[in-house]
Structure 1
Amino acid sequence: MEFEYLLRVVGAGICGVLVGFERKTRMKEAGVRTHFIVALGAALMMIISKYGFQDQAAWSNVKFDPARIAAQVVSGVGFLGAGMIFMHRHTVKGLTTAAGIWATAGLGLAIGSGLYILGGGATIIILLGQKILHGRYSWLASPKTQQIVICLNNTEGAVSRIQQLLEEKNITILSFHAENNSLASELNLEIIVKFPESYNAVNLLSLIQENASVKAVEFQ
């Protein structure tokens, strides 16, 4: 029987590799190795939880709960997912990868408990879902953030014209900082904006440059 258990662990590791390879091709934080170990480890814990204490239960005539260790896998793997999530330019990154780590643990638990069809089918569904939902659909597009540095002549109404331009394009200003260079009669603006992914940032750059007050503009 232990050879069958070992095959379950190997099968879970293969499912983890498939999910991890999809993440790796998208240059995400967690790749093949991480997903492989998570799935393999979850299968191992499931097998230990389900079969590792049967002899003790038979000897002591005490009922045991085969889910007690597996339940800790579901919650305990969260610390791995938390390490994948971070903030970058006012945008949360890594949520999908963290969810993938959690789901990969579920694949390992399924195969470790002998539910091969369920585990294999769930792996295929995850891969198909990632492939389809990463398509360029407008209803799936998430907003992007960008820091813009603008150098412009310190003339009356120059800043308000920039703000009005962004509002006309439905671009949200997240932060705004202006620094006056009195020697050169210039203003340096540092703006962090949020705009739809479907909007071309290069077009925004060209649009700002058309303003007569603007001397230089760049994205950071």
Structure 2
Amino acid sequence: MDFLEITLRLSLAAILGGIIGFEREQNNHPAGFRTHILVSIGSALIMLISIYGFTDFLLEENVRFDPSRIAAQVVTGIGFLGAGTILRHGFTVTGLTTAASLWVVAGIGLAIGAGFYSGALVATLFVLISLAVLNKIDRFIAHKRSLVHLKVNVVDRPGKLGEIATKLGERNISIKSVSITEEDNENYEDDYVSIIFLLRISKKEYAPIIVDEIKQVDGVKEVQFGKNTE
């Protein structure tokens, strides 16, 4: 394999990986432009090594050649890198799409390294459609429903979070995230916690009604309702 072909494959891997990484970078995700380029180039290089790196060794007798063995380890190993982009905040998990994009970019890099150009180009196109176009559709749908904060001070007893969530679920209100902090015990006789919900509700929902229903939960001390400022 000549130097020009090696340069072409590694360059194309960098370009395709960079295009996907640029989309992630624009949306402020953990793994962006440079990370995707590195993953794609590294995968292409490993594929090249797997196919062409053992030519001299293959001249020996009784040698079995399987170019997929090294490449298969990329598919497994990229999972560790992808896991590093997955973040958990309370009950909310983010970074799953970025982790998936890294995994796909690794496959694109392997395809380029193996000379499967058409597959890599089509895969890149589909990934961009999934990340960019479908993301805009999802945002358009999401904008039809407002994001609001609901803060509930409730006695620290098992099951209270579930009772409040049930009340919200009965009104078909989606809980986007939940965070829990301890309240200053000097203000209350019992131990209380502050539960902050980020809710996605339709515009037809009437806030005072929601607040009144939450206050009916035994142990609720205070309820505050307001628009999301993020």
TM-score using structure 2 length: 0.71
For 1:38, the equivalent position in structure 2 comes to 39
Distance of 1:84 and 1:205 partners within structure 2: 36
Residues of 2 paired with 1:63 and 1:9: CA distance?
A: 27
Deviation at 1:130, TM superposition (A): 1.4
Letter of the structure 2 residue corresponding to residue 81 of structure 1: G
Distance 1:175 1:89 in 2: 5
Aligned to 1:12: 13
| Structure 2 CA distance for partners of 1:180 and 1:47, relative to 1, 3 Å | closer
| Equivalent residue number for residue 171 of structure 2 | 169
Name the aligned partner's letter for residue 172 of structure 2: N
The Cα of 1:88 is off from its aligned counterpart by 1.4
When structure 1 is superposed on structure 2, of 61-70 and 131-140 the one drifting more is: 131-140
Aligned positions of 1:18-97 closer than 5 A:
18-97=19-98
| 1:136 CA drift (Å) | 3.5
| SS of the residue 2:60 aligns to | helix
Provide the rounded CA distance (Å) in 2 between the counterparts of 1:140 and 1:102.
27
**What is the rounded CA distance, in whole Å, between the counterparts of 1:65 and 1:164 in structure 2?**
55
Offset of 1:54 from its aligned partner? 1.9
Structure 1 counterpart of 2:157: none
Q: Do the aligned partners of residues 71 and 86 (structure 1) sit closer, same or farther apart at CA in structure 2, a change above 3 Å counting? A: same
Question: What letter is aligned with 2:171?
Answer: K
Q: Which amino acid aligns with 2:76?
A: S
| Matched residues, number | 206
Superposed CA deviations along residues 80-121 of structure 1, whole A, max 9, x for unmatched, are 001011211301110000000000000000001111111112
Matched, 1:101 2:102: yes
Corresponding residue for residue 191 of structure 1:
195
Asked whether the equivalents of residues 149 and 198 of structure 2 are also in contact (C-alpha less than 8 Å), the reply is no
Work out whether residues 145 and 193 of structure 1, in 8 Å CA contact, stay in contact via their aligned partners in 2: no
Contact 1:176 1:191 in 2 (8 A): yes
Q: 1:115 to 1:108 in 2, by over 3 A?
A: same
Contact 2:152 2:196 in 1 (8 A): no
Alpha-carbon distance, 1:63 to partner: 2.2
TM-aligned CA distance change 1:205 to 1:65, over 3 Å: same
Q: Which residue number in structure 2 is paired with residue 149 of structure 1?
A: 151
How far off is 1:41 after superposition? 0.4
Structure 1 residues 77 and 130: alpha-carbon distance in aligned structure 2, compared to 1, 3 A threshold:
same
2:116 corresponds to:
115
Gap runs ≥5 in structure 2:
155-163, 216-220
CA contact (8 A) 2:43 2:110 kept: yes
Mapped partners of 1:79, 1:183: distance in 2? 46
Which amino acid is 1:190 matched to?
Answer: S
The structure-2 alpha-carbon separation of the partners of 1:27 and 1:215, relative to structure 1 and needing over 3 Å to count, comes to: closer
- Following TM superposition, by how much is the alpha carbon of 1:189 offset from its aligned partner in structure 2, in angstroms? 6.0
In structure 2, the partner of 1:2 is 3
Cα distance in 1 between the residues matched to 2:73 and 2:223: 59
The separation in 1 between residues aligned to 2:130 and 2:56, in whole angstroms, is: 41
Q: Which moved more, 1:73-82 or 1:172-181?
A: 172-181
DSSP 3-state at the match of 2:30: coil
CA offsets, 1:136-176, max 9 Å, x none?
A: 349986x9998743469xxxxxxxxx889645533478788
User: Mind listing any 5+ residue stretches in structure 1 that lack a counterpart?
Assistant: 153-161
Q: Is the 8 A contact 2:151 2:197 kept in 1?
A: no
Cα offset, 1:79, TM superposition: 0.8
CA distance, structure 1, for counterparts of residue 119 and residue 128 of structure 2? 14
